[in-house]
Amino acid sequence: MNLNFAVTGVLIIAFALGLVKDMHGSNLSRIGTTLLLVAGICEVVAAGFPCDPGCPAAAGSFSQSVFLAFPFLWIELMAIHMLSGITNR
């Protein structure tokens, strides 16, 4: 599972860098693309912190807390990225 996070994060980072290179839109588009880049970085960081057995949200280790925090941040950044694309039209 952690390998999937790492691979997905690297692919998101590569996509975001490609968008930044060829994007000629507004500042809001650049902000959304930067947030996409940060989301990819969060995905890679989450891969470095394994989930505890059973993934308990209440009483987990430090690694468990980091593992759960970064995907939530990733979801929020993706939502902001999508909203920035909608408002750019």
Structure tokens at 68: 């759960």
- Structural domains counted in the chain: 1
Asked if residue 48 lies in contact with residue 17, where contact means CB atoms within 8 angstroms, the answer is no
- The pLDDT of residue 27: 72
Token readout for 1 is 């599972």
Q: Is the pLDDT of residue 86 over 70?
A: no
Q: What is the pTM of this model?
A: 0.67
Q: 82: domain range?
A: 2-87
Q: Give the model's pLDDT for residue 34.
A: 82
Other beta carbons within 10 Å of 2: 13
Region 39-61: mean pLDDT is 76
37 and 19 Cβ atoms separated by less than 8 Å: no
Is 80 exceeded by the pLDDT of residue 9? yes
Mean pLDDT rounded to a whole number for the chain:
77
Residue 54, token pair as written in the block: 């059973």
* Number of Cβ within a 10 Å radius of residue 21: 8
